[in-house]
Amino acid sequence: MIGVQLPTPSLVIDRAALDHNIATIGEALPGRRLRPHVKAFKSTGLARRLFDAGHRTFTCATVREAEGLAAAGLGEDLLLANEIVDPDQLARLAAIEPAVTAAADSEETIDRAAAAGVRRLVIDVNVGLPRCGCSPDEAGRLADRARAAGMDVRGVMGYEGHLMMVSDRASRIRKVERSMAMLLAAADAVGGDLVSAGGTGTYDTNTWANEIQAGTFLLGDTQYDSLDLPFQLALTLECSVLSVNPAGWLVVNAGLKALGMDHGNPTWPHGEVMFCSDEHTTLRCEDLSVWSVGDRTHLYPAHLDPTVAKHERMWLVDGEEVIDEFAVDLRHW
């Protein structure tokens, strides 16, 4: 693929940074201590790299992700860390082999999963994030109901997502400990071998869960890059300069339709991002004279997951050389 001229806008992955991130997470969370969350990068090609590095279990957010991983031979132990209630999706989930472990936080979600033929379950526990998850003191009763329906209850999961961006490390550790105390109490009541939690922001401060569901570490984004984490920004959005305005700005051909914007504007290493439009981002820098129409530049996304989901492929580069292509083949539901 040497000499490939990438279309713009394109997601570009730096090989050295990718390799660094895989090696770094592997030192802290070897093998099954890490259950990589594929929702962050949505690519079986990238999941294969983690599999080859010794991480043989994966976390999914959608049935489509689980189906794609299983079809790619990466379905040895999949956890769909999300409640599923749609009958068609539940039927698809139950049909995957090997059996996928689903999450449930209520009698209704357990009953629907059991009726569809889902065989494995974890109880999803609320550990402080106001999203899905049962009260810790309800977890044991729900596990009993699932087992009575013939399901294999493997343990508990609980996502301390509200603590991912606590900037002070000591405070992060204290708050994660309190959050995980709730999960461990639920685990005692539920039984099973899984205590699944965590994410990139708490990958090394959550020492209570026995597996960590980190995903963003692999490619990075500017939100997580603001923390005291050892990972590198591996993903950029390559774009082309469309217009250079002598009034003081330039415009590139990537905007809201190419970037996840819920965590704010992307970062441009050469100056200021003024604003993003549907198809454009307007940039300002001190020396406009160095830029011409047709030049290429890179933006760093603020939120990885929704950015990747907007694209069909990503390109791996070593310096200026394009060396591989990864399909974003786990999109949709």
pLDDT at 36: 98
Stated pTM of the model: 0.96
How many CA atoms within 13 Å lie on the side-chain side of 263?
19
CATH H-level, domain 16-219: superfamily: Alanine racemase (3.20.20.10)
Q: Tell me the domain boundaries of the chain.
A: 16-219, 235-327
CATH H-level, domain 235-327: superfamily: D-serine dehydratase-like domain (2.40.37.20)
pLDDT at 3: 55
- Residue identified by tokens 């357990």 is 110
- Residue identified by tokens 């760093």 is 300
pLDDT in single tens digits along all 333 residues of the chain: 445 689 999 999 999 999 999 999 999 999 999 999 999 999 999 999 999 999 999 999 999 999 999 999 999 999 999 999 999 999 999 999 999 999 999 999 999 999 999 999 999 999 999 999 999 999 999 999 999 999 999 999 999 999 999 999 999 999 999 999 999 999 999 999 999 999 999 999 999 999 999 999 999 999 999 999 999 999 999 999 999 999 999 999 999 999 999 999 999 999 999 999 999 999 999 999 999 999 999 999 999 999 999 999 999 999 989 999 999 999 999
CA-based nearest residue to 330, from 15, 18, 11, 47: 47
In b/e form, how buried is each residue of 81-94, taking b as 16+ CB within 10 angstroms? bbbbeeeebbebbb
